[in-house]
């Protein structure tokens, strides 16, 4: 990333939302701040809910020329005509997913805090890797991705990198020089005004 370029915003949906109401919240956020990509990251395995949610968000994102990827569900990405998939198992399924979805699809890979997984994901055909959580959280096993990892990655590896998980304004200021994207989700959706909260976080980049 050049010194003049600020990281882009990669918006992550809540793990659970009402597909009839949430798209309006999403639209307000997308109209308030420039967003590069949206990830549909539902925790449910209810196919009907996922399909309805994806349909609702696809209309909003594609109207604004914003890419929409789905977390984990490779077959649904293909079936729904989404822009790609975000994998959560490091490098393990990147190669097979790339082969299945083709060269034009976005294939991203969450690699926790593992340089090794990140490099393997890139070699297997990932378009980006994400590391996290970058902040303190009671979720997971306590592992977090620190600024040193992002600094090393940005210096040594050309593949775009996403910083995500428990972001704060202070962490955003710290990581702005060494990441290409900030993956932001729960940091804004739990607030009274997600669009305003996103603006606050974006302001911390500069």
- Domain parsing of the chain, residue ranges: 8-203
Do 159 and 126 meet the contact criterion of CB atoms below 8 Å apart?
A: yes
Q: CATH classification of 8-203, choosing from 3.30.70.980, 3.40.640.10, 3.20.20.70, 3.30.70.1400?
A: 3.20.20.70
- Note down pLDDT in tens along the chain; length 206 residues: 444 689 999 999 999 999 999 999 999 999 999 999 999 999 999 999 999 999 999 999 999 999 999 999 999 999 999 999 999 999 999 999 999 999 999 999 999 999 999 999 999 999 999 999 999 875 667 789 999 999 999 999 999 999 999 999 999 999 999 999 999 999 999 999 999 999 999 999 99
Q: Is the peptide bond before 133 cis (omega within 30 degrees of 0)?
A: yes
Supply the pLDDT for residue 136. 81
């Amino acid at each position: 990333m050049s010194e003049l370029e600020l990281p882009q915003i990669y918006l992550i949906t809540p793990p659970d939302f009402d597909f009839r109401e949430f798209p309006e919240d999403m639209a307000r956020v997308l109209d308030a701040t420039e967003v590069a990509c949206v990830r549909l990251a539902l925790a449910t395995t209810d196919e009907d809910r996922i399909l309805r949610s994806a349909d609702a968000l696809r209309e909003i994102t594609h109207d604004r020329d914003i890419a929409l990827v789905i977390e984990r569900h490779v077959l649904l990405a293909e079936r729904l005509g989404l822009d790609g998939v975000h994998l959560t198992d490091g490098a393990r399924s990147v190669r097979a997913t790339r082969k299945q979805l083709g060269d034009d699809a976005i294939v991203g890979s969450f690699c926790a805090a593992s340089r090794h997984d990140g490099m393997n994901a890139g070699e297997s055909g990932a378009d980006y890797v994400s590391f996290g959580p970058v902040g303190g959280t009671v979720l997971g096993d306590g592992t977090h991705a620190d600024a040193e990892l992002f600094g090393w990655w940005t210096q040594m590896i050309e593949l775009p990198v996403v910083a995500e998980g428990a972001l704060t304004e202070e962490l955003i200021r710290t990581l702005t020089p060494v990441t290409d994207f900030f993956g932001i989700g729960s940091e804004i959706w739990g607030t009274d005004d997600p669009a305003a909260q996103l603006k606050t976080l974006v302001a911390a980049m500069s």
